[in-house]
């Protein structure tokens, strides 16, 4: 018996929340309970980060006019993406890809400004700041799911436009619009799977060298 391991029930709960976390796009606007958003943000802030950089910043969008503007921008970007996906454009337009107007809370997540001063672990791979912030969002995602709250990560936006809308420094980098809130039910599988957009890959592990079936699907 490993003395450091959690109880069997706790281990089960961890795997359960990992399995049942979903990217959510359907919400109802009932507010979160007192302290819930703060807990989710605290969970995010416990994430690992390159050089302990903690590059994440969260902007809570409480102004409804600003929320509306963000939604309009995302919708415009959705149209541009539809053109970019080419022959699957009609199928793409059927997908619901955000719940900005119906969720209880909207957070913009951004990488902090002046990131070039952080070198530890980033000299050859500056994008490790983004990897760190993604860990923070995943923490929040799991904490929210465990509390029965849905979260959707929206990346359909032009960073410079979002930067402008939220009055962010020029060298900061918005990476996510998070929609957070109550849901009627969690999708049993990724929505992009249920709608036939894509499937979960079966083989993701190679041994010793790169395998032959790892290419991005056209
Ligand atoms: C970096 C990142 C960006 C994403 N951007 C969007 C998005 O703009 N709109 C959307 O509907 N889903 C977005 N998603 C959610 C993915 O579509 C979703 O994670 C994937 O389909 C698997 O579904 P699941 O999260 O429910 O397991 C994003 C996820 C990640 C990790």
Nearest to 98 by CA among 154, 157, 42: 154
Distance CA 44, CA 142 (A): 10
Domain extent listing, the chain: 21-194
The two three-digit tokens of residue 138, written as one number: 């995943």
The alpha-helical segments, DSSP class H, found in the chain are: 8-20, 36-45, 64-84, 89-94, 128-146, 159-165, 191-194
Task: State the Cα–Cα distance between residues 133 and 112, nearest whole angstrom.
Answer: 10
How do the pLDDT tens digits run along the chain, 218 residues long? 899 999 999 999 999 999 999 999 999 989 999 999 999 999 999 999 999 999 999 999 999 999 999 999 999 999 999 999 999 999 999 999 999 999 999 999 999 999 999 888 889 999 999 999 999 999 999 999 999 999 999 999 999 999 999 999 999 999 999 999 999 999 999 999 999 999 999 889 999 999 876 555 54
Ligand 1 centroid to Cα of residue 104, in Å, is 19
Q: How far apart are CA 119 and CA 138, in angstroms?
A: 24
**Do the Cβ atoms of 106 and 178 come closer than 8 Å?**
yes
How confident is the model at residue 218, as a pLDDT?
A: 43
Q: What is the pLDDT of residue 121?
A: 85
What CA–CA distance (Å, rounded) separates 103 from 94? 20
Q: Which CATH architecture best describes the domain 21-194? A: 3-Layer(aba) Sandwich (3.40)
Q: Whose CA is nearest to atom 18 of ligand 1?
A: 23
Pocket mutation for ligand 1, best pick of 18, 21, 23, 193 (most atoms within 8 Å of C-beta): 23
pTM over 0.85: yes
The pLDDT value recorded for residue 215 is 56
Q: How many A from CA of 4 to the centre of ligand 1?
A: 33
Please list every protein residue whose CB sits less than 6 Å from any atom of ligand 1: 22-23, 25, 97-98, 153-156, 190, 192
Which residue, judged by its Cα, is nearest atom 10 of ligand 1?
A: 97
**Which of 45, 22, 46 minimizes the C-alpha distance to 99?**
22
């Amino acid at each position: 018996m490993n003395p450091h391991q959690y109880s069997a029930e706790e281990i089960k709960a961890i795997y359960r929340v990992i399995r049942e976390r979903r990217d959510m796009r359907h919400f109802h606007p009932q507010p979160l309970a007192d302290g819930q958003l703060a807990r989710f943000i605290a969970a995010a802030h416990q994430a690992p980060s390159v050089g302990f950089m903690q590059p994440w910043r969260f902007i809570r969008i409480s102004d409804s006019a600003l929320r509306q503007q963000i939604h309009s921008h995302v919708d415009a970007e959705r149209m541009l993406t539809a053109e970019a996906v080419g022959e699957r454009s009609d199928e793409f337009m059927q997908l619901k890809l955000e719940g900005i107007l119906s969720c209880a809370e909207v957070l913009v997540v951004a990488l902090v400004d002046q990131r070039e001063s952080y070198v530890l672990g980033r000299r050859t791979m500056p994008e490790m700041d983004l990897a760190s912030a993604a860990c923070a969002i995943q923490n929040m995602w799991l904490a929210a799911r465990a509390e029965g709250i849905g979260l959707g990560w929206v990346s359909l936006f032009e960073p410079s436009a979002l930067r402008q809308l939220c009055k962010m420094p020029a060298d900061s980098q918005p990476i996510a619009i998070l929609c957070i809130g109550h849901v009627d039910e969690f999708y049993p599988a990724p929505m992009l799977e249920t709608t036939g957009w894509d499937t979960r890959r079966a083989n993701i592990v190679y041994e010793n060298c790169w395998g032959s079936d790892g290419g991005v699907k056209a």
